[in-house]
Structure 1
């Protein structure tokens, strides 16, 4: 066993009493790697908790969904309003037509552990934005609803029609959309380690590019949406007021400066920090080096130097100086005998490679006797615990002398 990975629950990843700690007591080099897709979820949560505007946005978003999707009757009303909106937008040319497009679905709710669930949550609100306004207006105007329900609908409607809410909505859509493909790739059974790491690097570059060049594009688009739904757009050159006057209020900050630097840049910076923190260099290096062992695509990733670096950097107790010399020679032989052999060119996983080595009678050529013996002792440790190594040595020594031949 060389690795372990699961989500961030304390009973799983706890350094003292978690499952990873129990494994590492017996195998100190069974490195723990946090489940990557769950890491993305934590990055979202971390960035949300550090940004007041984002935290307020998701809180309001949750309230809106609870009101609109709180009963089957309101869901049917939402679907009817959305159907009319889709029909009108198709006629006006705002929506494309085609198979699978413009289907009338329900308002998506947020999941707790999947990044894609949060992304679908935001996409659903964007797609049904006008329809949600219609439903909230109907609730507010209908006297059959309680004052409390009408008040909640009225408050949600005011929030929904604020420039601030729309700006954060489309910022979240842009930011989360960049990472959504990475999340889906990580959950795919066919993805290899190196491609996952490459995807991570691409995500970082795209987020940085969005930060450097995306504000003006996003601002123009949000303004066009505001014009469509007759939502007031603040004067970008005016002095920004947060609505709650305090001694920290800065009179020299414009509205545009606030949305550009205090919201747009700040949100992306927080997210980049979270990603760098959670996908640290040690984890990335371990996974990149491990990919050299994979037989996919005719051993395309096979690299002797990477395998040697993996052994010396992460498993020093298993590979001393002498073992490293043997490993290097063995890998040179392996490269010609296995990597370039026709019988081993259609493999996808390391387990398939092991089976093929046995079938081809080559398993004994590429063995690690110490590792195999240690594994046997570990499997049978209930019996091995009763064996005193000193007694074994003394008993062997007490027997008649053995002649040792040096080869």
Structure 2
């Protein structure tokens, strides 16, 4: 039990049984994938594959399937790695109905990207550009079109580089901020509390990092006086003349009305879009509700410029399934077009039967009080299953399921990356790829892992290879 090889075998057993439980949870249903790549602590490129599916209780789930090391990030290498992962877990690319990535060319390229390679093999695997990523890009694009706001972010970047140029400056910034907080607490301008006023530093904004611009602006507002103090110290005590002149210019800029106004104005805008970004990152978020949120925030036009034509048609059809206001947006013609986008799921005979079944479904939804006041497509799916109506309207239930598995955002992949940095940290940076995958699967899907019986894991362990002793149930504990 103290042998590292035994530990690795046990972790491997836990991961395999957890993945098997996930595959059983998904059953024979269709699914989508969310894929992204990033380097780990040992600077090895890792690709993460997350499945999005609707389980037997009609709940939308996003589960980590696998993480694997890739030699390069070209589209063909990613496609080969996905094929290998699918083969390992007994999945078929013909069951794929959606793919969600960010906007990188190797992922979303129209001709040679991963999206294109999968679509050539399965034309029903609809591509969705991560909504949270699109929102961030749209906000940055709109902000930089305004001269005043563009100048603001340029100035913020310069000040961040200047104030964060040395450990001495960073320490001075934190000390000044700490003193200011204590003074304001003493005169009761602020009320204390657990977890408030924690140590912070200036953050650099990134065009593709969700929420990074809001974080930068928020820290600037909170540490405004402390930043002025540090710039003043640099201007007085700095050794390099150019740095001293830069500090004086930035100090004058920060105390200008236009800079302060722009800073607070951008905070109000980014605070609004951050609420939307957080809503889009929910695991059970569906496409129809995401589109409704975007319309609510009146930024759909900028996002429409980034949608491919096929995706725009798909979204137009999906909007007709909204159950709000007694299915006021229900449109039979558009829903038929939605079914036509999935030729592998609707044959010619089913397309003929689809229209009359839609009419009966609409009548049920508007007459049966069980279906009143539903807010999302997922709620419709659950009610159809609970009442047994999914058996009477199988052709209507099918596109509802297809819509639910379409990915909204790659937030689940980003959460895996965060966990990867916790598991493979500086002290464990020599961890092998297989052990990293096994630990991540057990950690990320711990709700499934905790439901496994110890006996199942022990039996798998005993069947791996002959052992001198048999492990008992008491020998392992989750």
Q: Same fold judged by TM-score > 0.5?
A: yes
Question: Are 1:70 and 2:165 counterparts?
Answer: yes
Which of the residues 283, 287, 308 maps onto 1:189? Answer: 283
Name the CA shift for 1:46/1:74 in 2 (closer, same or farther; >3 Å).
Answer: same
Distance 1:312 1:98 in 2: 56
Distance 1:301 1:288 in 2: 18
Question: Are 1:128 and 2:223 counterparts?
Answer: yes
Structure number with greater CO (CA < 8 Å, separation at least 6) is 2
Structure 2: where are the runs of 5+ without partners?
Answer: 1-95, 365-369, 371-376, 399-478
Q: CA deviation at 1:307?
A: 7.7
Corresponding position of 1:324: 351
Distance 2:395 2:234 in 1: 76
Q: CA deviation at 1:98?
A: 2.8
Distance 2:189 2:326 in 1: 46
Structure with larger Rg: 1
Name the CA shift for 1:315/1:95 in 2 (closer, same or farther; >3 Å).
Answer: farther
SS at match of 2:199: coil
Distance 1:124 1:200 in 2: 27
Corresponding position of 2:8: none
Q: CA deviation at 1:70?
A: 2.0
Query: Can you list the C-alpha shifts for 1:98-151, whole angstroms capped at 9, x where unaligned?
Result: 3332223222222342231111111110110011001110111115x3222212
Which of the residues 309, 312, 324 maps onto 2:334? Answer: 309
SS at match of 1:109: coil
Q: CA deviation at 1:62?
A: 0.7
Q: Is the 8 A contact 1:192 1:291 kept in 2?
A: no
Q: Is the 8 A contact 1:119 1:176 kept in 2?
A: yes
Distance 2:289 2:113 in 1: 30
SS at match of 1:4: strand
Q: Note the 1:89-128 alignment, pairs <5 A.
A: 89-128=184-223
Q: Is the 8 A contact 2:320 2:334 kept in 1?
A: no
Question: Are 1:274 and 2:302 counterparts?
Answer: yes
Distance 2:136 2:218 in 1: 17
Distance 1:281 1:92 in 2: 59
Q: Is the 8 A contact 1:37 1:186 kept in 2?
A: yes
Q: CA deviation at 1:168?
A: 1.4
RMSD: 4.4
SS at match of 2:297: helix
Question: Are 1:43 and 2:68 counterparts?
Answer: no
TM-score (structure 2 length as normaliser): 0.50
Which structure has the highest strand share of the two? 2
Q: CA deviation at 1:55?
A: 2.2
Question: Are 1:286 and 2:310 counterparts?
Answer: no
Q: CA deviation at 1:189?
A: 1.3
Structure 1: where are the runs of 5+ without partners?
Answer: 205-270, 341-346, 369-407
TM-score (structure 1 length as normaliser): 0.58
Q: Note the 1:375-394 alignment, pairs <5 A.
A: none
Q: Is the 8 A contact 2:336 2:354 kept in 1?
A: no
Q: Note the 1:163-242 alignment, pairs <5 A.
A: 163-204=257-298
Query: Can you list the C-alpha shifts for 1:31-86, whole angstroms capped at 9, x where unaligned?
Result: 32211111112213322442332222211111111111222222221111111222
Distance 2:381 2:118 in 1: 21
Corresponding position of 1:157: 251
Q: CA deviation at 1:311?
A: 3.7
Q: CA deviation at 1:27?
A: 3.3
Which of the residues 137, 140, 144 maps onto 2:235? Answer: 140
Name the CA shift for 1:281/1:197 in 2 (closer, same or farther; >3 Å).
Answer: farther
Which of the residues 119, 125, 149 maps onto 1:30? Answer: 125
Q: Is the 8 A contact 1:108 1:121 kept in 2?
A: yes
Question: Are 1:52 and 2:147 counterparts?
Answer: yes
Query: Can you list the C-alpha shifts for 1:283-318, whole angstroms capped at 9, x where unaligned?
Result: 466347548889xxx9x9999956873342462673
Aligned residue pairs total: 292
SS at match of 1:64: helix
Name the CA shift for 1:203/1:285 in 2 (closer, same or farther; >3 Å).
Answer: farther
Corresponding position of 1:239: none
Report the more deviating stretch, 20-29 or 120-129. Answer: 20-29
Q: CA deviation at 1:93?
A: 4.6
